[in-house]
Amino acid sequence: GENVEQHPSTLSVQEGDSAVIKCTYSDSASNYFPWYKQELGKRPQLIIDIRSNVGEKKDQRIAVTLNKTAKHFSLHITETQPEDSAVYFCAASAPSGNTPLVFGKGTRLSVIA
């Protein structure tokens, strides 16, 4: 089955700097790659996602890139702000609508003001 590795497990950046979180996946059939943000004590929420027919997707200060050949995808956050501090999870799933997401273990991002 699918296996998703996420790095780093913790990341500290200065406010205004960029943050990059990387994930690799094992199943070449996977075609959907979402990123979820979980603030302390809250539920995970989708912030951005990408499908395998797209190489990059942006939404204001966040972007996701996908390299299908290397089987890795990354989350980029520019101009980080204290409210970006949270745990971020990547995930992957295969084409079948019934195939569940497999999540990475998460990255705790701390933005230092």
Partner 1 sequence: NAGVTQTPKFRVLKTGQSMTLLCAQDMNHEYMYWYRQDPGMGLRLIHYSVGEGTTAKGEVPDGYNVSRLKKQNFLLGLESAAPSQTSVYFCASRPTGVEEQYFGPGTRLTVT
Cis peptide preceding 8, ω within 30 of 0: yes
User: Going residue by residue from 83 to 102, which x/- string records binding to partner 1, judged by CB under 8 A?
Assistant: ------x---x---xx-xxx
Nearer to partner 1, 42 or 58 (CB): 42
Does the footprint of partner 1 cover residue 43 (CB under 8 A)?
A: yes
Torsion of CA 35, 39, 44, 50, to 10 degrees: -10
Residue 25: in which H helix or E strand, if any?
strand 19-25
Cβ closest to partner 1, residue 6 vs residue 74: 6
Amino acid at 17: D
Instruction: Report in angstroms how near the CB of residue 104 gets to partner 1 at its nearest.
Output: 6
In this complex, which beta carbon is closest to partner 1, that of residue 38 or of residue 78? 38
CA-wise closest residue to 89 among 100, 71, 72, 102: 102
Sites of contact with partner 1 (CB under 8 A): 6, 9, 32, 34, 42-46, 49, 89, 93, 97-98, 100-106
